[in-house]
Each structure stands twice: as structure tokens, then as C-alpha cells.
Structure 1
Amino acid sequence: MSADQTIDHDSWNYSPAKLPRQSKITLGRIHGVLPYDGVRNPGFRSASSHRVWLTYRTIANDFQPKSGIAESAAEAAVAHELLLSPLLYDLQFQPLKVYLRPGDRKGPSYTHDLLATFMDGRRSLIFVRNSDSLQKPRTWRDIEAIKAATSPSAADNIKIVDAGRYSRQRRENLFRLHEAIQSPEPEVDDMVLWTARNYRSLWLMRDLFPLLDLPQKTVFKSCYRLIARGALRANLDHVIAEWSRIEVAS
């Protein structure tokens, strides 16, 4: 195609330009971080979906940082929500590949999104899909085929998660809450929580700032950790800031 025949996608042709498929991004070794160990690398470049690379800590790895790759922003939000739970023992990304035709390893296959292992030994495979897809009978037929192809020994159950439950702000808040618990300060958190419990007029996060002989940013970070722990409650679908409504969990 000559230069004068080239379609200019910026001036008049507003449809997205079809670009060649790019290679997957492969992380090299990171000092002090356990490598990604999923059976599939979903980290290829995409113009239509949001891949998320993250590091996380679990009891299973003695809280040593480990690399994870989520295939969508909603999948990452589910992972962050699980990582906030004190009941979680381990979390794996892209943990298991199953073949939908028994014995046919060249036929259609599916790789599970997440595998959560809890402190009591329960294991749950997590299937994350958007709301529109979950309204379609074909999706549920696919889910039944995936369940049938998955060995009962792989997990105790398969949980279906509607990505529509995770608004953009909720995803952002879960990310920030997960970041906050990476820098624990238990003594500060005890002081902030004690103050919150004993201040009868508590309404906004900023109400706590003048009550504590601590820098405002220290109290702010502590509130994030306390919300992550479930000791304080806030609306995760709204921005969590100093003007946010908070309350002590019962």
C-alpha cells in the first residue's frame, strides 16, 4: 500500500487501528521476589483489556513477595480482596489448565483464573467474568463444561465472580488497601482504633486527626489499614479520603 493510500486513524477513520499482535511480556528475575509460577502467562499486550502485574505476600510463602499476573482489572480486584482476608493461606494466579475434551490435549482448553487456599484447608478455584457474559446461556454451558473437566481433587469448589460487582473506584480502593497493609504499624493502628471507638461523634475520617498526637498522614494510612482489616468500615465504591464517612465495625 502506498503512502497516499494509508488510512489515517487520527483524522477521519475513528475506528481503532488493527495492530499486529505483540509478544507476551516475560518478567525476569527480581531480587527478593519469588517468580510468577502460573501455568499460563496472560501478560500479552492488549488494546482491549487491562493486564495487571503485582507483587503479593501470603502465609504460604512466609510473607516473601511473589509476582502475580491478573488477566483483567476485575481479576486483580478479586485477588486484592482475597489478600485482605486473614483467613487466606495462599493465592495462585493461572494455577491450572484443563482440557474440555477428555484425553484431547490439542482440543479446546481453559486455564482457571485464581486458586485460593484458606487457613482451614479449603481450596476455591475462582472464575471471573463480566456481567454481560454471565447473562448468556452459552457462558453457563461453558462453565458446566469447565467444572466437568476439572478434577475434584483440584479444589473443593469453583466460585463464579461477577466482575460487575467491582466498580472502578472499588478496584482502586482494594489496590490501595492492599498497598497499605504492606507497611504494618500495629501500635499506631491500636491507638487510632481505640480513639475511634471512644469518640462518640465520629463521622468523617478527618474527625480523628485533631484527637491524636500523630501526623495526619500517619493517621490516614492507619485508617486505610484498619479498613483493610475490617476494623473500620467505609464505602469502597466511593473515594476513601479525609472527607470519607467511616465507622467502627461492630
Structure 2
Amino acid sequence: MPRETRPDRDATKREYVETEDKVIDHDSWNYSLPKLPRASALSLGDIRGVLPFDGVRNPSARSNTSHKVFLTYRTPANDWKPKVGIAESAAEAATGLEAVMSREIYDVTFQPLTVHYRDEDNVRRSYTHDLKITFRNGYKRLIFVRNEESLEKPRTQRQINAIVAATPKHAANDMIVVNANDYTRQRRDNLMRMHHFVFQPDAEADEALWETALSVKSFYYMRDLFPHAPVSTPRAFAACYRLIARGALRANLDHVLWEHSRIEVAA
């Protein structure tokens, strides 16, 4: 008598898993960010009271390698009205904000112009400059932001030379290269907060804290100034940020900038 046959359990298993069904545990073994399919650039609508982004290229398309940053900033060129800026990396955004806070700067533009050049393999390529700053005396400067690993490659230097050669002379007086590694995560965070406080001015608190810093014979931490300043601690704290942004006080921006930070009067 033939035995009753049972269906093979493995035969009922799926031989593949649909992409949307895959679950990758990024907490226990795959520590890198999941790679997502490319998405088109974000298009911002009108924002009441805010000037629109006016760069020649919108760099906000989704990327697995760069951190896109949207921000608002103010410059004398726009009568201090807030304006949208879009940066292709956090270091690029921090470089722009640091320039915005300088009293010598008249205007800052993100993604200001695109140039076309031929690389060392004679392939025609395009490049959009990261930033353009205009000083109050009219001097214009383009800024090339790139991480240190890339800057150390001879190929990158040849690319920079080709970009400089392809950039029209009337576009800017010069171009400088900024090492993105100089903008550590903590430095970027500090610059973001400095930018916030700079555009929340309090001249009375700034003057009071500056006079306190000059009159107190010795202080080591930021908090050492607070008992001597004739303003509330929150106002004194914000004033410290503004004075550091102005260059009147000095602190290590690669460390957390708070009341326990070591600060000193700049020479």
C-alpha cells in the first residue's frame, strides 16, 4: 500500500523576497545609512516675508553621500530681509553662515554660477560653485568646499585648476578652497547657534558683558562673567555668543560652547 505523500515544506517557500519586503537591521550590524533611490530636488513654494532661493542650481536632490541643508540668512545686500539658502553639505552651510556673521561681508550667495570645463580625460563637465561672498568694499570671492580626503588627491587639484581657468574673470576677484574637515560637527552646531543669537540683537547686553569682561581681573569660564554682568544670565549667555561671533571674545568652537566653556578676551 503506497504511503501518503506530504508536500515538501520547502516547496512552499518563496525563492525571492520583493524589494519592499526586505528589512535591513541598521542598528545591529549595518551601521551605515540605508541607500535610498535618487529623488528629485525639492521645490520650495513662496514663504511669506522670506526671499526665495536664487542660486542657479538647486542641490537638494536626495543623495547617499552628502547632507543637504536648507536655511534662512540675512545680509546688507537684501536690506537684512531673510532669504532662503540651500547648501549641498553641512560644511558648506557653516562656511556661508560664518561669512554672513562677518561685519566685512555685504552679500553671500549659495550656488551662484555654473561653469563648463574639460577634465584631464577631455570630457566636458559642468561645475556649480558652492558659494560667492561679496565684501563691503566690492571684492568678490568664490569658495570651493571639499573634504580633506578629496583635497589630498592630485586629481582634485587638477579639477580645481580647470574650474578656475573656466570661471570668467568678471565673476569674482579670486577663489579659495575650504577644507570641510575644519568644520567639525560641534563647530557647525556652535556656528548655527551663533547665527541665531547674532540675528536676535541685544546691544545693551553686549555692551554690558563686554565691559564686564574688560573689568573683571580674572575669569576662566563663561559662567564666571555672569554674576558681575548687570543683565540677566540668559541675556549674558546670548551676548557671549554674539561677542565670540564678532571676534571680541575667543573660545574653542570645536567644543560645546556653553557656560562651562573656557573663554578669553581676544588679543
Q: Which residue of 1 aligns with 2:7?
A: none
Q: Which residue of 2 aligns with 1:5?
A: 17
Q: 1:226 is matched with which residue: 243, 246, 257? A: 243
Task: Find the structure with the greater CA-based Rg.
Answer: 2
Instruction: Give per-residue Cα distances to partners, 1:188-233, cap 9 Å, x unaligned.
Output: 1101100110001111111111112322111101111111111111
Q: Which moved more, 1:168-177 or 1:14-23?
A: 14-23
Question: Structure 1 regions of 5+ residues with no counterpart?
Answer: none
Instruction: Give per-residue Cα distances to partners, 1:121-180, cap 9 Å, x unaligned.
Output: 110000000000011011011111101110111100011111111111111111111111
Q: Which residue of 1 aligns with 2:217?
A: 200
Any conservation in 2 of the 1:9–1:16 contact (CA below 8 Å)?
no
TM-score relative to the length of structure 1: 0.93
Q: What root-mean-square deviation, in Å, do the aligned CA atoms of Structure 1 and Structure 2 show? A: 2.0
Any conservation in 2 of the 1:43–1:51 contact (CA below 8 Å)?
yes
- Distance (Å, rounded) in 1 between the aligned partners of 2:142 and 2:230: 45
Q: 1:44 is matched with which residue: 41, 54, 61? A: 61
Q: 2:92 is matched with which residue: 75, 81, 99? A: 75
- Are 2:37 and 1:20 equivalent residues in the alignment? yes
Identity %: 54
Q: How many equivalent residue pairs? A: 246
TM-score relative to the length of structure 2: 0.87
- Within a 5 Å distance, the mapping from 1:1-250 to structure 2 comes to 4-6=16-18, 7-10=22-25, 14=30, 17-101=34-118, 107-250=124-267
Q: Taking structure 1 as reference, are residues 223 and 16 closer, same or farther at Cα in structure 2, changes over 3 Å only?
A: closer
Question: Structure 2 regions of 5+ residues with no counterpart?
Answer: 1-13
Q: Taking structure 1 as reference, are residues 219 and 3 closer, same or farther at Cα in structure 2, changes over 3 Å only?
A: farther
- Distance (Å, rounded) in 2 between the aligned partners of 1:246 and 1:18: 42
Q: Residue 16 of structure 1: CA displacement?
A: 5.8
Q: Taking structure 1 as reference, are residues 13 and 223 closer, same or farther at Cα in structure 2, changes over 3 Å only?
A: closer
- Distance (Å, rounded) in 2 between the aligned partners of 1:54 and 1:166: 17
Q: Residue 117 of structure 1: CA displacement?
A: 0.3
Q: Residue 4 of structure 1: CA displacement?
A: 4.5
